[in-house]
Amino acid sequence: MTDMRVPVIVDDAPRPPTAPYRTSPPGTTTTIAAVRTALPPHRYAQDDLAEAIGDLCLPPGTDRAVLRRLHASAGVRTRHLALPIERYADLGDFGRSNDAWVAAGLELGGEALTGALREAGLEPADVDLLVCTSITGIAAPSLDARLAGRLGLRPDVKRLPVFGLGCVAGAAGLARLHDYLRGHPDDTAVLLSVELCSLTLQQRDDSPANLVAGALFGDGAAALVARGGGSAGPKAAGPSVVATRSRLYPDTERLLGWEIGAGGFRVVIDAGVPDLVRDHFGRHLRAFLAEHGLTTDDIGSWVCHPGGPKVLSAVADALRLPGDALDTARHSLATVGNMSSASVLHILQNTWESRRPEPGTWGLLLAMGPGFCSELVLLRW
C-alpha cells in the first residue's frame, strides 16, 4: 500500500444561486417499497476468524499479538463468510476465488432479490430495471444476466451491471434508481448488491491493508425495490427519495480501492481516510442539506455506511452528531462486519424494521468509496 498524505482540497469555485426547496412534482417521486439482506450460513466469531486469518496471511511462527489487537478493535463481533473457513486455503488463485464468487453470489443474490420483491408484494416480471453492483468479483455474462432467467424476470428487463464504486455503490445505486424513475415514473427498479469480500483476501500477504480488510469485511447480499410515482400495484410503504448528491474529492484516487493483478483484488486502504472525512465531508453535507432548507439537526434517521470504527467516529465528529446517531451502523458493523456496498442497505433495513421513524421524519443515507467519493440520498419517511 502506498504511503501518502491526505491532499489539501481547495473547493472555492463559484456556484450558481441555490433554488429554494420545493417538493417534487406529482408522479416524479421515488418510494422505497422494500429492502432485504441475505447472509451466507457460515457465521463466525471475530476471535475465531483472527486465528484463521492468521493461518492464511501470516508467515509461520509470526507473533499474532498485533493481529489479535487489530481484530479486537475493529468493532466486529461476528461475520458471515461465503464459504466454510476451512475451504479458503484451497482457493489458491484468482480463478478459483472468482468461481466461488459466481456460485455463492448467484445463490445470495437470488435470495435477496426474491425476498425484497416478496416483501414489496411484487413478482419478478414486475421489474423494469435491475442495477447489479459488486466490487468483489467479475463475470460476463454478469450476475444480473444469469439471475434473470433463473428468477423469472422479463426478457426485456433493462439491466445495468456496475463495477468499481465499491462501498459507495449502495447509496449511489439508490440515487441512480431515483434518476431513472424520475424519467420512468410508471416503472419498478431494483438495486442488487452482492459483496463477498472474504474471497478477495490475499493469502500470504501480511500488509497492513490486507490485515485490516481481514478484520473488518464480511459477506452478504442486499436488494432494494423502488417504485416511481405513477407505478401501479401495491402502494410502496417505505421512505421517499427527495434528492441526491454525488461528490468526488480531487487527488484522492490512492486512498481507497484495489490493485488488480494475477492474485486478484488486493485492497488499498489508506490510514488518511478518516482525516479526509473529518476535514471535508461535513462541509459538503451541510451545503447539500442547506439547499433543501435543512440542517443536521433536522435529520431524524442516519443511514450511514460503516466503513470502520475510525470512519464512523470521523463522520460523527465532522457532523457534530449526538452519540447515538450512528448506533444502527455500529450494530451492523458488530453483527455482520463491513459488507461493502451491501452494508448501507442492511442498515436501511434495520432502521425500517427496528427503529421505524415517524411519518414525515427526514433521513439521510450516505456512503463513501473509491474515487475518493461520497454519495448522499435525502429521504422522507
Burial of 302-325, coded b for 16+ CB within 10 Å and e otherwise, reads: bbbbbbbbbbbbbbbebbebeeeb
Order of strands, sheet of 362-369, starting from the edge strand that comes earlier in the sequence: 158-162, 129-133, 188-196, 219-228, 30-38, 240-248, 373-380, 362-369, 299-304
Does residue 7 fall inside a structural domain? no
Q: What is the pLDDT of residue 25?
A: 52
Does residue 269 fall inside a structural domain? yes
- Which of 202, 228, 254 terminates a domain? The answer is 228
Catalytic residues: 167
The torsion angles phi and psi of 221, rounded to 5 degrees, stand at -135, 155
* Residues 308-327 pLDDT 10s: 999 999 999 999 999 899 99
Nearest to 328 by CA among 320, 284, 316, 91: 316
Instruction: Work out the pLDDT band at 236, boundaries 50, 70, 90.
Output: low
Does residue 375 fall inside a structural domain? yes
| Domain extent at residue 344 | 238-380
- For residue 352, the domain's CATH number is 3.40.47.10
**Distance separating alpha carbons of residues 171 and 13, to the nearest angstrom:** 26
Q: 132: which strand partners?
A: 161, 192
Shared-domain flag, residues 202 and 270: no
* Residues 269-289 pLDDT 10s: 878 888 888 888 999 999 999
Strands 299-304 and 362-369: parallel
Say if CB 256 and CB 370 are below 8 A apart: yes
Q: What is the pLDDT of residue 92?
A: 82
User: Taking CA 209 as the corner, what is the angle to CA 208 and CA 212, rounded to the nearest 5 degrees?
Assistant: 85
